[in-house]
Chains A and B, each alone.
Chain A
Amino acid sequence: MEPLRTHQGIVCPLNLTNVDTDQIIPKQFLKRIERTGFGQFLFYHWRFDDNGKPRPNFPLNDSKYKNASILVAGKNFGCGSSREHAPWAVQDFGFKVIIAPSYADIFKNNCVKNGILAIQVSEEQVQAIMKKAESEKYTLTVNLEEQIVFDHEGFEIKFEIAPYSKQMLLNGWDEISVTLGNEEKIKQYELTQN
């Protein structure tokens, strides 16, 4: 996993609440057995009409948000199915950071495991960013070490993140290797169970 320390990018607004993982990546695209190549299917039915033509009103199709790498969305983002194909699609499309008032638990975990920073801030703060991004091409910078998000006009917010998730992201750790460092403890636990 690639470490993530700071990131600067264009913000794409998705002003919807309870966006579920069935919307993020519809089921017909879950059949691949690889981890890659899901970006083309991100928000498929919102992005494309039944003939496969881009829907002009959907933000991801707006030239203003071309190459956007920060996605801002409404509360309870990523609810529903546990499919990790959802963060894979988000990442493969080019997003590195998500900003929302809240996330579904499994989705949030899945993000950390893939090096995506899912930032949680208040509803008001999200709406402030959303407004900016809806009206103009808007760039934000994220500093994970400092736990801040800011723009060049003096807007700055602080965010909270679990210390472990922060370390995982900053270092790009392979979690399984970390765990296998505790293998003796796992063995001991197993012995006490028999």
Chain B
Amino acid sequence: MQTPKTIIQKIWEQHVVHQEEGKPDLLYIDLHLVHEVTSPQAFEGLRMTMRKVRRPDLTFATMDHNVPTRQRLVINDPISKKQIDTLQQNCQEFGVTLADIHHPDNGIVHVIGPELGLTQPGKTIVCGDSHTSTHGAFGALAFGIGTSEVEHVLATQTLWQAPPKTLNVKINGMLGTGVTAKDLILAIIGKFGVQFGTGYVMEYTGEAIRALSMEERMTVCNMSIEAGARAGLITPDETTFEYLRGRRHVPQGEAFDKAVAKWRALATDEGAAYDAVVEIDAAEVEPQVTWGTNPGMCIPITAAVPNPAEKEKPNERDEISRALSYMGLEAGQLISSVKIDHVFIGSCTNSRLSDLRKAAAVVRGRKVSPTVQAIVVPGSYSVKLSAEKEGLDQVFKEAGFEWREAGCSMCLGMNDDIVPAGERCASTSNRNFEGRQGNGARTHLVSPEMAAAAAVAGHFVDVRQFTAQEVG
């Protein structure tokens, strides 16, 4: 009998082009996603060495980081504009398909890949962007790379990669009512730290994962990098196949059934060994809010901000004090007492249709607090259109949200959407680093439901009580 294998090992073995003693493996890349910020220097490298894009047919580009969300085509910042123009020129010169700024396929790279069916189980997928881990939700091996590697993939369609160690992130039991995929991944990072995945590819397993929709799975895998893991994936199942059926780049008809049979065989074998395992009880997860300056600094909505004086290690004390001071919070303060100035619903973590539906359900018939400025930025043009068809834009607008065009927007503020210094934002994005949403900005990561509830209340609230109370 063959040794049982994990899905990670199976995908790896299917993609090794060349192996040699003392070297990493040469791995074939099935899909290369490209965006405007991390690609210009790579294309320039090709030009200087007179190289071509080896497989334009496996390369797909979009622009998302710099795009304005008020008026799509008016880019005030000349340097942003130059980066966008450069991608257009590069794609034309090298024959790469581009979801241009005015193209209906445009959107955040990690939202449109799955939408278009480019993302499929068993593929190796890379992009010059750390949240490429999102695509792991489909059972693909997907990871972020730097610009030198982007150039390498453009030129060779391969990468030198050392086989990763495997980590089973086992989620036991089911999530409670009102607890979301975002809360789950934040709680995992909160429990095990921002570094426990470094050097590993993670596989999320367990009943609670199986119960998640594709969009929820993407939220979980998206933040694998926040735990240090370049890639995090989920074995594909019926939920995956149903999501993919009929999408543009997915095989159709009989070919689809064949593909499904192949995808099914990827599942981790019974008894396969991982290099490491961590476990968490889903039932103990509560809605989360980050209080500090990395995603591991999070607590349940019912809890208080930590007190550095209670920590034993001096460096831990320093780290907490530093974060509290940046965030303008008092040690021991209840997180639910923290008032906010901004709400951002968007980003590749939580800007898909179901995210918007859930947030809309919370704000329907309510008003955004007068002290809060709230925006919704759909993840793609297609999400925006679908949401508008359902009237979600009206729900948000009536509540006092601004309804914007698609893009990365306030997740990192490379366009005009910035949180001013010292102001506080409840954000559905993935990074609460110092200055991430603007120099001096204070970011609290939450789920779309929690962000919506905070927008209405003007401070953080437990969305579970919030909905029960108001509706009941």
Contact = CB atoms under 8 A, between A and B. Distances in A.
Interface magnitude class on chain B: 35 or more
B453 to A, nearest CB: 27
A26 B412 CA distance: 10
Interface stretch (A131-139, A140-148, A181-189): A181-189
Contact of A31 (B41, B144, B156, B414): B414
Contact of A105 (B18, B199, B435): B199
Interface stretch (B19-27, B176-184, B303-311): B19-27
Interface in A58-80: 74-76, 79-80
B247 interface: no
A181 B146 CA distance: 22
A50 B420 CA distance: 12
B198 interface: yes
B431 interface: yes
Given A27-B412, A82-B129, A106-B146, A189 B198 contact: no
B148 A84 contact: yes
B38 interface: yes
B409 interface: no
A183 B26 CA distance: 11
B228 A105 contact: yes
A60 B18 CA distance: 44
B413 A176 contact: no
Given A27-B412, A186-B28, A45 B38 contact: no
B51 to A, nearest CB: 7
Given A75-B195, A176-B155, A180-B155, A113 B431 contact: no
Interface string B288-325: 00000010000000000000000000010001000000
Contact of A79 (B41, B66, B228, B435): B228
Contacts of B157: 186, 190
Contacts of A113: 146, 148-149
A57 interface: no
B214 interface: no
Given A176-B156, A182-B17, A106 B44 contact: no
Contacts of A53: none
A110 B198 contact: no
Interface residues of A, number: 49
A27 B294 contact: no
A26 B439 contact: yes
A27 B195 contact: no
Contacts of A193: 28
A83 B38 contact: yes
A37 B199 CA distance: 31
A53 to B, nearest CB: 14
Contact of A50 (B28, B434, B439): B439
Contacts of A45: 434-435, 439-440
B206 interface: no
Contacts of B421: 50
A186 B156 contact: yes
Contact of A104 (B18, B155, B228, B435): B228
B202 interface: no
Contacts of A183: 156
Contact of A76 (B155, B195, B413, B440): B195
B467 interface: no
Interface string A19-34: 0101100111011111
B59 interface: no
A22 B130 CA distance: 12
The 7 residue pairs across chains A and B that have the minimum distance between CB atoms? A113-B148, A33-B40, A84-B146, A110-B146, A82-B144, A84-B147, A31-B79
30 contacts: A22-B412, A22-B431, A22-B435, A27-B413, A27-B414, A33-B41, A34-B44, A35-B44, A45-B440, A79-B228, A79-B294, A81-B129, A82-B129, A82-B130, A84-B41, A104-B228, A105-B198, A106-B146, A106-B230, A163-B23, A175-B148, A175-B152, A175-B160, A179-B160, A182-B18, A185-B17, A185-B26, A186-B156, A186-B158, A189-B28
Interface of A: 17-18, 20, 22-23, 26-28, 30-35, 45, 50, 74-76, 79-84, 87, 102-106, 109-110, 113-114, 162-164, 175-176, 179-180, 182-183, 185-186, 189-190, 193
